[in-house]
Amino acid sequence: MPRLFSLGLMALAGVALASPVVARPISYAGGHMLMLEHEPDVDRFSYTYSPSHRWSVSAGGLRATDLARSGEVELGYVRAARLLHRWNLPSAQANAFVWGGVGQGRTALGNSLARHAGLQLDYETRRVYTSFISELHEGDGWSHRFDTAAIGWAPYAHDVDRVATWIVVKGMRATNAIDDDVTPVAVLRFFTTRWWLEVGADADGRPLANVMVNL
């Protein structure tokens, strides 16, 4: 059944690959953002400052478990993100972001300089959300790619004076993991002008949560 759900999700999302954050990597000009995320096999935290809507700088960490060869990866990093292009439509917005960073990585193979790069494509109306995120992490002797495809639906169109509610399904996958199948997850997402909360579970019932605050 989980595999059937997984295949269905892949068909739904088009390309269901694997894993990072669904929130955008850049806030508004002058915005500060804190993010904490727990997924079944990955934990993340980051602080992001956006001097403009076109780029941001972040510092953060990541811990991924159940990875083949490297066993477990712990990363501390700094990164810069860039908005490549934004499409502002009358009732929708679409974005293309890229980012890259360096830091210190610790795995079963030892400590080494770690580097990463990622991209995010998203399209959003007030009722429909889709995104694809891919992030590649590399160090000496190890490499993992985390991909996430997501599609969401809002039961009502929110506005600034109302909490937004979304039902989001995602397909998540980490390459070179012990189990590198697509992990399907379903989350409820709530957000206002200042905070963002996601809670959900994967097909095996393992919980996940994501909290983000605009400071």
Count helices and strands (H / E) in the chain.
Answer: 1, 12
Of all residues in the chain, what percent are helix, strand and coil, respectively (each to 5)? 5, 65, 30
85 binds another protein (CB under 8 A): no
55 binds another protein (CB under 8 A): no
CA distance 103 to 126: 37
Task: Give 65 or 125: the residue with its C-beta nearer to another protein.
Answer: 125
1 binds another protein (CB under 8 A): no
Q: Which amino acid is at 157?
A: A
Q: Considering only CA atoms, which of 133, 119, 23, 135 is closest in space to residue 73? A: 135
* Parallel, antiparallel or unpaired: strands 195-202 and 183-191: antiparallel
CB of 31 to another protein, least distance (A): 6
Which region, judged by CB under 8 A, interacts with another protein, from 46-54, 98-106, 145-153, 197-205?
A: 46-54
158 binds another protein (CB under 8 A): yes
Task: Give 15 or 215: the residue with its C-beta nearer to another protein.
Answer: 215
Per CB under 8 A, the list member of 65, 112, 165, 192 interacting with another protein is: 192
Task: Give 27 or 183: the residue with its C-beta nearer to another protein.
Answer: 27
Q: For residue 72, count other CB atoms closer than 10 A to its CB.
A: 13
What is the three-class DSSP state of 41? coil
Per CB under 8 A, the list member of 1, 155, 194, 205 interacting with another protein is: 194
Judged by the rule CB under 8 A, the positions of this chain that interact with another protein are 27-31, 52-54, 83, 86-93, 124-126, 157-161, 164, 191-194, 196, 214
